[in-house]
Structure 1
Amino acid sequence: MKRILIAGALVTAVAAGGYLLTQNTVADADSVLNYIPDNTAVFSGQLTPFPIKTYINSITDTYSAPPDKIMQSLYNSDSYDPTNSKINFFLNLTQSYLQNMQDADAFMATFGIAEEIQGYFYTLGIIPVFKLDVINPNAIWALLDKAEAESGFTHEQRQIKQRDYRAYKLSEEIDAEQLELIISQHNNILTVTFNSSLSEPLLLENALGITPVANALAHSNLLNDIIIKHGFTKDAISYINHQALVQAITAPDDSLLGQHIAKLMTLQKQDHLQVYQQPQCKIELMRIANNWPRTVFGFNQFEINDDNTTFDMSMVVESNNQTILTALTQLTGFIPEYVNDLNNTVLALGFGIDVGGLSPAISRIWNELQQPSYTCPPLQKMQSAIQQNNPVMLGVMTAMANGIKGISGAVIDYSLDESQTEVAIKSLDAIISLSASDPRTLFNIIATFRPELANVKLPANGNIVELSSLLPLVTLPGINPKLIMHKEHMVIFNGDKAEKIAIALGNKPITATGIYSLSIDYSKAFTPLVTAAEFSGQAVPQELMDMKDYNLRLNTGLQINKNGIEATSYMNLQSKIRP
């Protein structure tokens, strides 16, 4: 069964092609949305066609590991069995994908797709369905025929209601559950799905686009509602339906997903989900699911050009529990702007935690998780564990740090001494900042516990002093850290660029800007390391060489908004090295 899962993962990767799936909200009689139930547990789609040719062109110069090397690592993996025709079939498809991914025209010709494509991923019960627009169906059949000929793994040709499809048997005869990979093409739409004993004939008809489903997504405002609620662009929408998942577990007879899960449980020696189907569990778990209904994914920015690709994506765990959202907002602290400045930093990291609000916020969450008192056994057990971990001691532990709003740091720029036989810093622009309501008082409190700090006299606000004049430091070439005090920020820095940022920080009031942020420019971060290592005659690992050429700028963050817990991810990938 493990091999079946590996094979399924490989074919999904080949079909997905490394990009988000797409969908069209204009529902006509032939729209794929007519075949997607509005209560599907998982959906991924996009409102505008994905420019696959432009995307491939934009990443060609940054495609680091050669296909042969990637394939060799797959063939050398512990799970690879050279006598297994199924594995060889999917590896052959993977190799075709990797080899052609380096040339947009070759990729489109091999997979029979246009320069812009649309597609869908969703579930019918527990059965995944993937659909993709194609303009040359014969290319797909030729690709599959080639993989069959070279692996010895073959299909069975079938038909349902005059719709032809291929069935590839993935399971072994001794497996309790039989599983088949289904591939079909009709009206220039490729469908990849699975068939098993869970599937009734009608379900296969739904998956292949023969018979529409009842309560289809085409007749729902769900996608538009998500866009409006979260301010997403109309480029891509994905979601996981928590309510559908909980309903399937607690009331299996009420949904197709629940019926599928129940059938799978009958194959087990013990049904571990029965406890959740008690009446009190149904009520209490659905109440929780209604408070946390979905996890949604969408774009704030979506731009793809031949030499530049920019994605700004958000993942939001939706919440209707205002008590918990208010508590999480209460502990949100301050992260300076320089942490998110991808244009002028190499690497930056910031944590925004309002330590003064940490204890009351966690106490509010702790109290909320105990209300109401659950009668469902698993939830009772959870509440009992929570009650045994009273957060009252947290207030005592954080008392000394009360007033801290955040701590951040960044490497603005650096260079290495290429004349040395070992990697050594030549110059460094870097900064570390502590943001607090009264950083001077915090320092004095810490000094009472650290004798070596007892005689340190911090400079007046706005004054800059060398840190070595306050503390005994071991100096290094190119490094002479300095300290500047502001009313709400204590900053240690090194270098002219960092000094400008440190001085400007004094004008920045402390506000709740986020909980976490990480920024990195791969080219800036790794190019000096590779260059210095090469000049010193040291061997440079291939992984490090790949990082140098990977012209990617990335920022990830975490914050709380009125709709839930939001994780952001910004990616800018350029195909040409920036000056």
Structure 2
Amino acid sequence: MNKMLIAAVVVAAGAGGYWYSQQSTQMSTSDNAVLSYVPADTPIFSAQLQPFPIKSYINSLSEAYRQYPVGALDELKQETDPRAKFLLSLAKSYMASMKDGSTFIQTFGLAENIRSYFYTLGLMPVIKVEVANADAIWALLDKAEAESGFTHTNANLKGVDYRSYQLTDESEKEHVNLIFAVHDGLLTSTITTSLSETVLLETALGVTPVDNSIVDAHIIEEIIKKYGFMNEGISYINHKEIVTALTSTDGNQLAGQLSKLFEMLEEDPLVELRTPACQQELASIADNWPRTVAGYDELKVTDKESTFGFRTVVESNNLVLLNAYQTLRGYIPPYVQDTDSNVFTFGLGIDVNQMVPSLTAIWDDMLTPEYQCGPLAEMQAQMSQQSPGMLGMFTGMANGVKGVGVSLIDYKISDDLDNPQLESLDAVVSLSAENPSMLFNLVKPFAPELANIQLSANGNAIDLNTIIPMPAEVNISPKLAIKGNHLVLFAGDKGEAIANSLETDLLVNNGLMVMSADYMKMFKPLLTFIELTGEPIPEDLEMMKDYDMRVKFSLDIDQKGFEIDSHMNSRSTE
């Protein structure tokens, strides 16, 4: 049964994973009828609010991205349970539909441009997707039934026909049902239980609106205005509503549903949290960390290429912690930010001099006030036995360090099968610090090979091959130099150019972490060489050869909270 539920999550994620758009029109949530059925206290919400060109998006993906490893569903294939076989059939149909954009929209009865929604009515998940051809949905489900022997029950609620698939065994007292319906051009999928009230399903199916909706509360407009997101898609997790559900019996819809479930089980696993002290203290924490919100900063979709910029913010109102975390920010060099000219980059910005005072401020804030709520008091007791001040013994040697950067710019493997070697390598590794010469001299006693190296402050490089000879099959000549405030290890002409560019870079605290990768540049030379040798290419690597995608991920913090910025660019296979 667990495997079946995992498969259900995979299918649902695949069906709802395209919540984007390319248009930038002004949005009024009051014009969106679906949102009047979403309660303001929903703990989770994610929606594509403007039509997204799903057909073009599928076409823009490289062929490798649209394929799945052979044997991806082998575990499910061994299942004899009709429910698992039903989900297996849906998963296989989904995989087959990824052949191209036309096949995908025809399989699921979608238009070329769609809106989609995911939210919860308390515990009850609801997925809605705009459809153009409802018959395709029913044909897909009929096919899955024929291949599995798992059948549905037809039902009607206030004029809306729907299919109900019972996921639990007949012998079980409580029933769980998977629901499918098409109403007003929307496919709705949800899950009901024998504990669910009828009005809840009415709301999920778009028959009975809620009294206080997400539109009434102006939540979406507020998020877009506050964070400058594009209008197309917004997601959030409401931490305050989740805390209310965990600490009260009827504070919101989710709390009431959990209370009813625990009453049926004759056991309340949250009883320790549902005390006045926990309610007050956890609510205070939630006030400081109210939501995680996400939206788009960039959207460009054509049949040949797709580019997405997606930003997630963990909101915080705790100025003490925000200031402490911001003080930790260090220096990330410009070359780490460049996703177009590199195979792989990584940058970590940490101001080591500020690490102990910043962590101490964070530690002190988490130990104040003294909690009375049992679980929180226990956490504080464990934290009080430790002290971040001890880090001072380890950070002393790294005094003045602001950050590190790594970049694999380019590499080439020779096509000489009799003498395979790394033909060329352009790469850079940098350590940025207030006094890089002092740090290098501190390290030398731990590496005898470096004992006689004297790095000049004028930026002249030393060829490390003369000190630590490289193997013959590795045709590279690494060099070491101090360039301004940066100790740099580099190889190749491109690596040298970047090293030289660092000489005038100032140590500005500009971030916490950045990482990027170009999958095609990373894997193609290696796989081409393996092909030349005649050796079989591992299946997982074979799929990566034409994986024409670039990704960038960064982590930072400002006065609004933690910010996670993701950027992705994908091109179709030529």
* Structure 1 and Structure 2 fold alike (TM over 0.5): yes
CA apart distance, 1:5: 2.1
Q: Quote the offset at 1:295 in angstroms.
A: 0.9
> 2:196 aligned with 1:199, yes or no?
yes
Match of residue 321 from structure 2: 324
Q: Choose from 46, 49, 67 the match for 2:51.
A: 49
CA distance in 1, matches of 2:465, 2:30: 72
What is the distance in 2 between the residues matched to 1:7 and 1:475? 48
Q: Is the CA contact 2:180–2:190 (under 8 Å) kept in the aligned structure 1?
A: yes
Native 8 Å contact 2:425 2:476 kept in 1: yes
Cα distance in 2 for residues equivalent to 1:228 and 1:503? 42
Contact 1:300-1:314 within 8 A present in 2 as well: yes
Residue 72 of structure 2 is aligned to residue 73 of structure 1? yes
> Which amino acid counterpart does residue 41 of structure 1 have in structure 2?
P
In structure 2, relative to structure 1, the CA distance for the partners of 1:354 and 1:254 (3 Å cut) is same
Question: Hey, what does 1:61 align to over in structure 2?
Answer: 63
Q: Secondary structure at the match of 1:375?
A: coil
- Shifted more, 170-179 versus 287-296: the winner is 170-179
Larger mean CA deviation between 362-371 and 261-270 belongs to 261-270
Number of aligned residue pairs: give it.
570
Aligned to 1:2: 2
Corresponding letter in the other structure for 2:225: I
Displacement after TM superposition at 1:268 (Å) = 4.6
The more displaced of 46-55 and 429-438 is: 46-55
Contact kept in structure 2, 1:520 and 1:555, CA below 8 Å: yes
Name the structure 1 match of 2:219: 222
Q: What residue is the counterpart of 1:160 in the other structure?
A: 157
CA apart distance, 1:458: 1.1
Tell whether the 8 Å contact from 2:414 to 2:420 is kept in structure 1 after alignment.
yes
- Unaligned 5+ residue runs, structure 2? none
Q: Call closer, same or farther: CA 1:534–1:253 in 2, change over 3 Å.
A: same
Inter-CA distance 30–574: structure 2 relative to 1 (3 Å threshold): closer
Match of 2:492 in 1: 495
What is the match of residue 143 of structure 1? 140
Aligned runs of 1:117-128 on 2, under 5 Å? 117-128=114-125
1:302 pairs with 2:299: yes
Q: For 1:385 and 1:422, how far apart are their aligned partners in 2?
A: 58
Question: Do the aligned residues in 2 keep the contact of 1:422 with 1:536 (CA within 8 Å)?
Answer: no
TM-superposition CA deviations, 1:237-272 (whole Å, max 9, x none): 101110000000101211110122223334557422
Partner SS, residue 562 of structure 2? strand
Partner of 1:426: 423
Show the 5 A alignment for 1:228-377: 228-268=225-265, 270-377=267-374
Tell me how far apart the structure 1 counterparts of residues 514 and 364 of structure 2 sit (CA, whole Å). 29
CA offset digits 1:96-143 (Å, max 9, x no partner): 222122122222222111110012110001000011111111221122
CA-to-partner distance for each residue in 1:38-78, whole Å, 9 max, x for gaps?
A: 11000001232111011011115343535xx55x431x21x
Classify the secondary structure of the residue corresponding to 2:273: helix
What CA distance in whole angstroms lies between the structure 1 residues aligned with 2:286 and 2:59? 43
Shift of 1:160: 1.4
Contact 1:519 1:555 in 2 (8 A): yes
- Equivalent residue for 1:31, pick from 30, 33, 41: 33
CA spacing shift, 1:155–1:14, aligned 2, 3 Å: farther
In structure 1, stretches of 5+ residues that fail to align are none
* Cα-to-partner distance string for 1:527-555 (whole Å, 9 max, x where unaligned): 11011112222221122221111001111
Whether the 8 Å contact between 1:334 and 1:405 is mirrored in structure 2 is yes
Query: Could you say which residue in structure 2 is the equivalent of 1:528?
Result: 525
Task: Give the letter aligned to residue 12 of structure 1.
Answer: A
Tell me if structure 2 keeps the 8 A contact 1:21–1:44: no
SS of corresponding position for 1:210:
coil
Secondary structure class of the residue paired with 2:370: coil
Which secondary structure state, in structure 2, belongs to the residue aligned with residue 349 of structure 1? strand
**Residue 80 and residue 422 in structure 1: after superposition, are their counterparts in 2 closer, same or farther (change >3 A)?**
farther
8 Å Cα contact 1:421-1:536 kept in structure 2: no
**Structure 1 residues 305-342: Cα deviation after superposition (integer angstroms, max 9, x where no partner):** 11111111111111111111111111111111111211
Q: Tell whether the 8 Å contact from 2:20 to 2:299 is kept in structure 1 after alignment.
A: no
Distance apart, 1:403 and its partner CA: 0.4
Structure 2 CA distance, aligned partners of 1:449 and 1:144? 66
Alignment match of 1:396 (pick from 393, 397, 412): 393
Task: Please give the secondary structure, in 1, of the residue aligned with 2:72.
Answer: helix
Q: Within 2, Cα distance between the matches of 1:14 and 1:391?
A: 43
- The amino acid of 2:114's aligned partner reads I
Report the AA paired with residue 18 of structure 2: Y
- The change in CA–CA distance for 1:481 and 1:81 in structure 2 (over 3 A counts) is closer
Question: Residues 192 and 370 of structure 1: is their aligned pair in 2 closer, same or farther, counting only changes over 3 Å?
Answer: same
Quick one: which amino acid aligns to residue 138 of structure 1?
D
What is the TM-score with the length of structure 2 in the denominator? 0.95
Distance 1:251 1:501, change over 3 A: same
Deviation at 1:455, TM superposition (A): 3.3
Distance in 2, Cα, partners of 1:386 & 1:560: 24
- Cα distance change on mapping 1:64 and 1:3 into 2, 3 Å: closer
| 1:73 counterpart SS class | coil
Q: State the Cα RMSD in Å.
A: 2.1
Mapped to 2, the partners of 1:479 and 1:330 lie a distance apart of 39
